[in-house]
Amino acid sequence: MTPLNPDRLLTVWEAGAHRHPLDRALLLLALAEPDTAPERLADVPLGARNTALMRLRRARYGDRLDAWVDCPACDERMEFELDAAHLPDPTTPPPTISVEGLDFRPPTTRQLAALLGSEDQEHAAGALLEACAERPEALPREAAARAGLLEAVERALDEVDPWADLSLMVLCPSCGHKDVAALDIAGLLWDEVAGEARRLLDEVHVLAQAYGWSQSEVLGLSDARRAAYLDRVLS
């Protein structure tokens, strides 16, 4: 794992600031898995990608995760805290799973990226099913049979690789509505990286004005020493 020090964090944030969330996830994955060739990062299964990103996140920010979701029934924003140590244990799923006599590979970021132009959720799910199938020509063509197979494949993937699509049951304290919310590890980590990047830029701005230091000199300070200088400038 490549340490997410301040200088590297700003570089990653700058590279991903105006890119799609899937691209941002791969930028972070390159730090979490530096031994993986860049051209192969998009082909890492989603479960392995999310597990690696969580390792990177815990190394930089610890086990506590602050998250939120809007209630679909009343629009109340629900904020909650998670402990990463209580999430499912990482698993190593098999390269393929067998469902109803057909073999399927776990989905990847590259396959999700291929569906970005699809506006129909049902069509996108069917396209992903075909992309994951070892023999797409063997998939049923009848709509009901295909829908049933899709559900069966989703259940099988959840069993062998829960990190591919982590979700939580949430209860709205305002209206009592229960819902399942996806836990987007890549999105949460990016939000934290972006927040820290903005804070670091503010600190560089203040200390550069006060002492005439360059960005590299400010970022080269330890967190404790940088905070001590900021206290003196702002007090």
Positions in the chain short of pLDDT 50: none
Domain that includes residue 104, residue range? 97-160
On the 0-12 / 13-18 / 19+ scale of CB atoms within 10 A, 131 is middle
179 sits in which H/E element: strand 178-182
Look at residues 160, 176, 194 and tell me which one is the last residue of a structural domain: 160
Q: Is residue 42 part of a domain?
A: yes
Q: Is residue 205 part of a domain?
A: yes
Tally of structural domains, the chain: 2
Cβ contact 165:182 at 8 Å: yes
Residue in the structure block whose two tokens are 């990608």: 49
Q: Is residue 115 part of a domain?
A: yes
Q: Is residue 29 part of a domain?
A: yes
The reported pLDDT for the residue numbered 118 is 82
